[in-house]
Structure 1
C-alpha cells in the first residue's frame, strides 16, 4: 500500500469535522507553497484566490496536485464559481467523505 493510499484511508475514516480540518491543512499547504508564503503566515480562507494573487495556471497546478494526492477529480467549475479556500475545503471534504473506499 502506497503512502497516498494510507493517507486516503486514514482521511476516509475520520469524522467529518476532523476530515475538514485535515483537508484544510493540506489545501493551505499547497496554496502557501504556490504563493511563496511561509508556513507561519496566515492565508485568509474567505478571500478569492485571484485576490490573493493566484493565476489560472497556478490554480490548475494546485488542482492537479490535490487530485493526485486525494485521488479525486476536481471539477474546474468548483475552482472558478466559488473561488475561496473555504469553499474548496468544503467541496473536497464532501467529495472525500462520499467517495468509495478502495
Structure 2
C-alpha cells in the first residue's frame, strides 16, 4: 500500500496521474473555500475569483506541500491562479519525475491578462 500521495501517483498508470493530482488539489481548494465536496473547481477560473484571499494562499500552499511532498513557492499560486495552470506548473516543475513526457506547456498557461490580474491583486493586497 502506498505510504504517501506521491507513492500513490507512482503506482497509478501514467495516464491517470494528472487527473489524480488535479482531484487532490481541487479537494484542498474546496476545503479552504468551504465548498461542497462534490462542487467542481473550474480548472480555468482563477481561485481568486472563487474567493481565495492572501491568507487562503498561505493555507493552500501549506496543504499542497504536505499532500504532494514538495516545496511550492507562494508566488507560484499567484502566477498560476487557475487549477489548470497550477497543474501545468507542478507536472513540469516540482513533480516532473512523475510526469515524463509532459514537458510541453499547456496553451492555458498565464497570458498577459492573467498576469495583469495577479499584479492588480498584489497591488490591492499591499495597499491595505
Same fold, TM-score > 0.5, yes or no: yes
> CA shift at 1:2, angstroms?
7.9
Using the size of structure 2 for normalisation, the TM-score is: 0.66
Between the aligned partners of 1:77 and 1:16, the Cα distance in structure 2 is: 28
**Structure 2: runs of 5+ lacking an equivalent:** 99-128
> In terms of Rg, which structure is larger?
2
Q: Render the CA deviation track for 1:39-65: whole Å, top value 9, x for unaligned.
A: 221221111111111001111101111
Compute the RMSD of aligned alpha carbons.
2.1
Kindly indicate whether structure 1 or structure 2 has the higher relative contact order, using CA contacts under 8 Å at least 6 residues apart. Answer: 1
Q: Render the CA deviation track for 1:9-60: whole Å, top value 9, x for unaligned.
A: 2213444431110101101100111111112212211111111110011111
Q: How many residues align?
A: 97
Using the size of structure 1 for normalisation, the TM-score is: 0.81
- Using a 3 Å threshold, how does the CA distance of structure 1 residues 41 and 54 change in structure 2: closer, same or farther? same
**Structure 1: runs of 5+ lacking an equivalent:** none
- Is 2:87 the partner of 1:89? yes
Query: Corresponding residue for 1:45?
Result: 43
> CA shift at 1:8, angstroms?
1.7
Q: Point out the more displaced range, 64-73 or 8-17.
A: 8-17
